[in-house]
Amino acid sequence: MIHDWMDHLESAKQIKLEASSKVAKQCPLRSFKFYKTKKVNTGLDDIKKGHLNIRTSWWDGSAIYGSNSSQLHKVRTYKEGKLKIAKHGLLQHDKDGLDTAGKIRNGWISVSTLKDLFILEHNAMCDALKKEYPDLDDKDLYRHARLVTSAVMAKIHTIDWTVELLKTDTLRAGMRANWYGLLGKRFKDTYGHVGGRYLGGLVGLKKPNNHGVPYSLTEEFVSVYRLHSLVPDHLLIRDIDAPPGPNKSPKLSHKVDMVHLIGSRGEGKLSKIGFSTRMVSMGHQACGALELWNYPVWLRDVVPQNVDGTDRDNHVDLASLEIYRDRERNAPRYNEFRRSLFLIPISTWDDLTDNEEVIDTLHEVYGDDVEQLDLLVGMLAEKKIKGFALCETAFVIFLVMASRRLEADRFFTSDFNEQVYTRKGFEWVNTSETLKDVLDRHYPGMTGQWMNSTSAFTVWDAPPDPDNHIPIYLRIPR
């Protein structure tokens, strides 16, 4: 979704960050260079300067389709509305080894795997539409299939993925209510959208509501979506040809460092790992916890990419860069952020966490001045609500933006109907509930053999890391 939603325009000015002599030995990079975020005129009286997003921030699948005509052209076949895909069901690549689908900057194995899957979904939708409506031409088939595929992704994100991050019955009911309303799916499927946004849900409202603000994603949303601690240091490759173990757990084959699974070099390795092996392997590996001292090591010395997917000359420490970006883009510090959301700010470090080691470290960095606490550091240190992978501070923004992205988009409100999506396309969206449904369409038998839960996301229950015999999300602070 990040590859679909946001990417700041950079200036031509490069700056350098240097670690102080006190901590330099602890840093993978003692210094690194990067480009500043470019400020542009907003045209708004109250905000003179702002930042430009070079991606379309709509829920439009631009990670696959691209955000401009040039990117769109690269991915299309111009035959029966379909997108380019290799015969073996994997992404096509250019002469430089880069995939040709949509957004390719800072790509890695997970993004590429999902691109594979949803290109197949788009093309399957084209086949279904062509069979149902033989008179539709290439352009109309493409447009309807893109609408349907983007809506399926939005629906999975709303009622499947987000629910795994916020795993409580209340949140599950709340996110489903965003899509179906409080009256539920059966009622909505039978009687349509009735009863306004609460009883009928946000999807299918008579008209979009942007609350007086042009459709956009806020800097606050960018800040709380800094979820790199979820990413592991290596991928555990599973042997899907061997019989499954207890609880449908596939046997471990080998592991690959994540640094080898990014960019063009990663794309080369991906072609040697079949889709089913990739999906089953990732489906059985736990995410990292969103906590302090759990940032992926490989992302602290990583090669960033240009917009065209080519590598840059300078490595960056992404953990340090994320702190800098929030400050550069004027995101509030932790306490001020909470005040702006009408949440109680902290007065002492003990209000934030019970972990004495964290408290000592925060005191070492910030002294007693809790107002200086950086937003990302505070969110990773904050005590979690039971069942939440996210902290409360991030959750509030997630909740508001999850609703806004649906409520302010005409393709999920006034134009979410059979006339725009076609009857077949509308039915396709309404009968797709989870990532499992999409996998079952294109890889029948995979989930039946390997899934050990009702959801394709098994965030906290994956097999242990074979190196230290504890789950990856409980890694010792590093």
User: By C-alpha distance, which of 449, 417, 420, 422 is closest to 436?
Assistant: 449
Query: Among the listed ranges 65-74, 94-103, 314-323, which one has the minimum average pLDDT value?
Result: 94-103
Of the chain, the percentage scoring pLDDT greater than 70 comes to: 93
Segment 78-94 shows an average pLDDT of 84
Backbone dihedral angles phi then psi of residue 33, each to the nearest 5 degrees = -110, 150
Predicted confidence (pLDDT) at residue 107 exceeds the cutoff of 70: yes
User: Mean of the pLDDT values across residues 255-259?
Assistant: 91
The β-bridge relationship of strands 31-37 and 251-257 is unpaired
Which pLDDT value is given to residue 298? Answer: 92
pLDDT tier at 379, thresholds 50, 70, 90? very high
Identify residue 180 by its one-letter amino acid code.
Y
Give backbone dihedrals phi and psi of 66, rounded to 5 degrees, phi first.
90, 170
- Residue of 182, 202, 187 whose CA lies nearest to 399: 202
- pLDDT, residue 453, reads 61
Q: Give the span between the Cα atoms of 377 and 229, in whole angstroms.
A: 12
Q: What is the mean pLDDT of residues 261-277?
A: 83
Residues 6+ apart with CB under 8 A from 23: none
| Cα distances (angstroms) measured from residue 217 to each of 27, 173, 374, 398 | 32, 25, 21, 11
Rg from Cα positions in the chain: 23
Average pLDDT in the chain: 87
pLDDT band for 463, please (50, 70, 90 cuts): very low
Q: Which pair of tokens denotes residue 137?
A: 């031409």
And the tokens for 391?
A: 């902290």
What is the phi-psi region of residue 36: left when phi exceeds 0, alpha when psi lies from -120 to 50, beta otherwise?
beta
Q: What is the pLDDT of residue 42?
A: 75
Predicted pLDDT at 459: 42
Amino acid 454: pLDDT? 46
Whether residue 476 has pLDDT greater than 60: no
**Where along the chain do its domains lie?**
67-474
Tokens, residue 271: 């072609």
The pLDDT tens digits of the residues spanning 438-451 come to 999 999 989 888 88
Q: What is the phi/psi pair of residue 417, to 5°?
A: -160, 175
The answer to whether the Cα torsion of 314, 320, 322, 326 is positive or negative is: negative
Mean pLDDT within 331-345 = 97
35-82 per-position pLDDT tens digit:
999 998 877 666 677 888 999 989 999 999 999 888 889 899 999 999
What SS3 state is found at 301? coil
Q: How does DSSP classify residue 8?
A: B
Given a cut of 80, whether residue 465 has pLDDT beyond it is: no
Q: What is the pLDDT of residues 389-424, one digit of tens each?
A: 899 999 999 888 888 999 999 999 999 999 999 999
Q: Coil, helix or strand for 397?
A: helix
pLDDT in the model for residue 46: 64
Cα-based distances in Å from 12 to 15, 78, 297: 10, 36, 28
- pLDDT of 471: 32
Helix (H) or strand (E) holding 394: helix 392-407
Asked if residue 218 lies in contact with residue 202, where contact means CB atoms within 8 angstroms, the answer is: no
Q: What is the per-residue pLDDT across 139-186, written as a single tens digit (0 to 9) for each?
A: 999 999 999 999 999 999 999 888 888 888 888 888 888 888 888 888
List pLDDT tens digits, range 197-216: 878 888 999 999 988 888 88
The pLDDT assigned to 177 comes to 86
State the catalytic residues.
Answer: 3
Distances (CA, A) of 426 to 149, 417, 418: 11, 7, 6
Tell me which CATH homologous superfamily contains domain 67-474: Haem peroxidase domain superfamily, animal type (1.10.640.10)
The dihedral sign for the CA sequence 292, 293, 297, 303: positive
Q: What pLDDT does residue 468 have?
A: 35
d(CA 116, CA 438): 12
Higher pLDDT, 461 or 24: 24
Tell the burial category of 286 from Cβ atoms under 10 Å away from its Cβ (0-12, 13-18, 19+). buried
Split at pLDDT 50, 70, 90, the class of 246 is confident
Give percent helix, percent strand, percent coil of the chain, each to the nearest 5. Answer: 45, 10, 45
Measured torsion, CA atoms of residues 128, 129, 132, 134, in degrees rounded to the nearest 10 = -120
Q: How confident is the model at residue 237 (pLDDT cuts 50, 70, 90)?
A: very high
State the DSSP code for 307.
T
Give the pLDDT score at 217. Answer: 86
